[in-house]
Structures are given as C-alpha cells and as structure tokens.
Amino acid sequence: MQVVTNKETRTLNLNLQKKDIVDMAEVNSSTNEVEENILIIQNAQYDMRLAYLDGSCGVLASGFIWLVSSFIAIYLAPNKAVFALLIGGVFIYPLSILLNKSFGASGMHRKDNPLGNLAMEGTISMILCMSLAYMLSLQKLEWFFPGMLLIIGGRYLTFASLYGIRLYWALGICLAVAAYFLFILNAQSYISTLVGSGIEISFGLVLLVLAKKVKKPELIEKKSGLSL
C-alpha cells in the first residue's frame, strides 16, 4: 500500500492551487474579451445612431417615396406607381442624408465602424429581393406592393442590430403583417402604397423625436476599439 507523505500532499495542493489560478486567469481574460467586444458593438451602434438620427430620416424618406407612389397610383396608373417606387428607391439614401443634415446630424458614420458593412450588405440584399417583387407584378400587379412591404419589413429587422433599437422589430413586423392582410384582401395598389407610407412615416416621426431627445456623447466610454 502506497503511503502519501505530508510533503507530497502539500505539493499536490500547491499544484492544484496553481491550476485554479491559471483557470481563473483564463476565465477573466475570456470575460474581458467578451466585454470589450460588447463595448465595441455598442460604440458602433451609438455611432450609427448619432450619424443617422437613429435611422429616422431614412424611414421618413422611404415613407415619402411610398406616398408619392400612392398619388401616382391614384391619379395616373398603378403600373406607373410600380416604376415610381423602384426608381424612387434610388433617391431614398440621398434624401435621407439631406434630412439628416437639415436636422443637425452628420449623415456619415465613422470609416472604422464595423457595422458599416452590415448596412451595405442589407441594402444589396434588399435590392436583389426587389426583382422578386417585380416578378410578382408580372403575375398580378397588385401583388408587387405587398411583396415590397415584406422585403422592406425584413430589411428593417436588421436595423434593430444596426442601431441597437428594438423599435425596428415593431416596424418590420407591422409592415409584414400589413403585407399579409393586403395580399389576402387583394387590396388595390393605391391602398397598399398608402398603408406602407402611413406605417413608415409614423414610425419615422417617432424615431426622430426619440433621437432628438437622447443624444449624449459623454455616455460612451472611451476604451479600446471604436470609441467616440
């Protein structure tokens, strides 16, 4: 029978303590890395909110284009409203920048903002999906506008991560639900465009009011990564 001496016991305990210390150091290092990454993301979101007033101007610009399309559907023809919405979509970004600047925002995020790529990727994805909505219009013209509402609603869901604002979940869901019922009810084109315009302009105004209330740059802590 092997007898363990006091010296061997102390050595074993010492080794176990060293292992615990190493493990604790690794856990602390991992925790610090996670906290730093979270801070970088929060700073990036804050930079986007500051530059674009919580994205409110883009929502308002999009709502305005939908409103113009509704007037075209009413006073000219629904098929012309389709092209008005497609062509008008090109002007949403420059119009939103003008609105941002008119309200005192820069309209430009930092070049080192890691969320800048997400914004561009989401835009490209939306443009690609717009071709599907156009194909729907070839089957039945009225289907184009609910299709576009679904596509834009899905795009707004990514804004919840882009800006760190959960209200965009509500906006995306409202557009999706509206698209579903407009499709089921076989709504006329001008009704779909008016509904889309009303939802976007309403949410855009709420976002703008909230954005103008809570802009306090000193709340962002300056650490490694993106800092303001």
pLDDT tens, N- to C-terminus, the chain (228 residues): 444 455 555 555 555 555 555 555 454 555 667 778 788 888 899 999 999 999 999 999 999 999 999 999 999 999 999 999 999 988 999 999 999 999 999 989 888 898 888 777 888 888 888 888 888 888 999 999 999 999 999 999 999 999 999 999 999 999 999 999 999 999 999 999 999 999 999 999 999 999 988 655 544 444 444 544
Integer CA distances (angstroms), 196 to 28, 152, 165, in order: 49, 10, 21
User: Scanning the structure block, which residue is given the tokens 């925790």?
Assistant: 31
Residue 78 CB: number of other CB atoms within 10 A? 20
- Alpha carbon 5 to its chain centroid, in Å, reads 65
Its pTM stands at 0.80
